[in-house]
């Protein structure tokens, strides 16, 4: 008998003939999450088992796998022989001393000599005999003893299902570049795309010396938090200081943010194509700020050919904050460091900018020279 962690996956079972590819990627991601911890990972039909980890380390194992996308649920349980006597020994270890309970059996091995109902009755009856303070309640029990009869003469016995993050294994949906600021929204957007299987590289724009080193370190910390979920992350930083100065000096002030975002999108696309990414990802939410109106979004889209994914587009701020708290980025996001978009922020930014007016103002700038200069400032960090 051995203590194990049982992992069940989410949508992978729907993938038909491509299921093997998703399972292999999921296996790689699980192994990455458990790196540095002695263990063995084995796949059975519809299950993964983490075995042979050091005694007392089950909480560390579950902490790590609880952040792996593709995990539907997990349980700490006992792996034992499927002989009914051995199954009962395991059940005795996971069952409560008192209160109400029931036994719930699943037979992955349909050739087992007892039916699920017979196993329930047998194990439940013996538990009642050995623990007089227990009572059966099949409708609303305080505790449940779960039994899973597996192939190869093995059985799993456990007492709880813990919910995983769900989604698809990271790396199964291509690569994107996330425009990450130090705010609340963009880290949540990156998390949500990773949950759908996208591998994300992170791109941050700064305006040093108008923005501080503290603002940059804040983004580095947010990137490290996201790396816990995406299993790997690369952060590229680019200075847009000179771009902002030129916009501020030569263009209509109400377009400061709009024009800056067009430059950001152009730079992001060039970096994405160089890195083999197929999409840009932003934390924009429709109507949240002046640059996120339909006209503002269309203005940014107009300068790129890659698709721009906006997973938060229909979320309100409270929904985004709730997600940020759940994934652990909120406390860092609200640290009081400035963002480059707040530099030269006009008193009355354009809410519904006309594209022809934007393009007319942009002609006052040497766009290609500014892009080249900005790209020369890029720095790349592996997290």
Residue 176 has pLDDT above 90, yes or no: yes
Q: Categorize the per-residue pLDDT at 233 as very low, low, confident or very high, splitting at 50, 70 and 90.
A: confident
Residue 371 has pLDDT above 80, yes or no: yes
* CATH number (domain holding residue 348): 3.40.50.620
Residue 234 has pLDDT above 90, yes or no: no
Residue 264 has pLDDT above 90, yes or no: yes
Q: Give the mean pLDDT of 128-146.
A: 96
**What mean pLDDT is reported for the chain?**
93
Split into its structural domains, the chain has a count of: 2
d(Cα 49, Cα 42) in Å, to the nearest integer? 5
Q: Where a domain ends, among 105, 129, 163?
A: 163
C-alpha of 173 from chain center:
13
pLDDT in the model for residue 343: 65
Residue 40 covered by a domain: yes
Residue 169 covered by a domain: no
pLDDT in the model for residue 266: 98
Question: DSSP assignment of 86-137, as one string?
Answer: HHHHHHHHHS-SSEEEEEEEEES-TT-SS-HHHHHHHHHHHHHHH-TTEEE-
Q: Are 222 and 131 in a shared domain?
A: no
**Residue, of 46 and 127, whose pLDDT is higher:** 127
Residue 187 covered by a domain: yes
Q: Are 226 and 99 in a shared domain?
A: no
DSSP state for residue 54 in the 8-state scheme: P
- C-alpha distance from residue 309 to each of 219, 277, 370 (Å): 20, 12, 25
Domain of residue 124 covers 2-163
Q: Are 253 and 355 in a shared domain?
A: yes
Question: DSSP assignment of 212-251, as one string?
Answer: -HHHHHHHHHHHHHHHHHHS--EEEEEE-HHHHHHHHHHS
Q: Are 87 and 200 in a shared domain?
A: no
Q: Are 193 and 155 in a shared domain?
A: no
At 92-132, the pLDDT tens digits run: 999 999 999 999 999 988 899 999 999 999 999 999 999 99
Q: Where a domain ends, among 102, 129, 163?
A: 163
Residue 238 covered by a domain: yes
Among residues 367, 344, 372, 181, the alpha carbon closest in space to that of 255 is found at 344
Lowest mean pLDDT among 89-93, 105-109, 231-235, 337-341: 337-341
Among residues 44, 15, 14, the alpha carbon closest in space to that of 27 is found at 44
Q: Give the mean pLDDT of 225-249.
A: 91
CB 237 within 8 A of CB 382: no
Q: Where a domain ends, among 109, 129, 163?
A: 163
* CATH number (domain holding residue 32): 3.30.2130.30
CB 229 within 8 A of CB 327: yes
d(Cα 200, Cα 177) in Å, to the nearest integer? 6
Q: Are 219 and 158 in a shared domain?
A: no
């Amino acid at each position: 008998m051995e203590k194990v962690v049982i992992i069940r996956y989410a949508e992978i079972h729907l993938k038909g003939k491509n299921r093997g590819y998703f399972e292999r990627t999921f296996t790689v991601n699980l192994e990455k999450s458990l790196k540095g911890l002695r263990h063995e990972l084995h796949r059975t039909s519809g299950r993964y088992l983490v075995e042979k980890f050091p005694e007392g380390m089950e909480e560390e194992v579950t902490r790590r796998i609880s952040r792996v996308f593709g995990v539907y649920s997990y349980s700490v349980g006992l792996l034992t022989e499927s002989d009914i006597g051995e199954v009962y020994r395991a059940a005795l270890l996971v069952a409560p001393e008192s209160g109400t309970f029931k036994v719930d059996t699943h037979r992955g091995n349909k050739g087992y000599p007892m039916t699920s109902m017979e196993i329930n009755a047998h194990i439940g009856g013996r538990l009642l005999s050995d623990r007089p303070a227990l009572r059966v309640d099949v409708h609303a029990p305080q505790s449940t003893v779960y039994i899973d009869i597996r192939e190869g003469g093995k059985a799993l016995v456990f007492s709880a299902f813990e919910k995983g993050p769900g989604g698809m294994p990271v790396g199964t949906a291509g690569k994107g570049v996330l425009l990450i600021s130090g705010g609340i929204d963009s880290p949540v957007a990156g998390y949500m795309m990773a949950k759908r299987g996208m591998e994300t590289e992170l791109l941050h724009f700064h305006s040093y010396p108008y923005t501080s080193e503290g603002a940059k370190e804040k983004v580095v910390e947010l990137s490290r938090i996201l790396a816990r979920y995406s299993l790997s992350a690369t952060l590229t930083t680019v200075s847009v200081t000179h771009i902002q100065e030129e916009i501020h000096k030569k263009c209509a002030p109400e377009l400061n943010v709009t024009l800056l975002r067009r430059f950001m999108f152009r730079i992001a696309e060039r970096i994405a194509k160089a890195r083999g990414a197929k999409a840009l990802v932003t934390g924009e939410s429709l109507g949240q700020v002046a640059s996120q109106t339909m006209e503002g979004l269309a203005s940014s889209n107009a300068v790129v050919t890659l698709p721009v994914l906006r997973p938060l587009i229909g979320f309100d701020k409270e929904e985004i904050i709730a997600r940020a708290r759940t994934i652990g980025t909120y406390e860092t996001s609200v640290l009081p460091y400035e963002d480059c978009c707040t530099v030269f922020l006009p008193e009355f930014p354009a809410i519904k900018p006309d594209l022809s007016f934007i393009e007319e103002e942009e002609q006052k700038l040497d766009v290609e020279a500014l892009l080249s200069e900005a790209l020369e400032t890029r720095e790349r960090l592996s997290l």
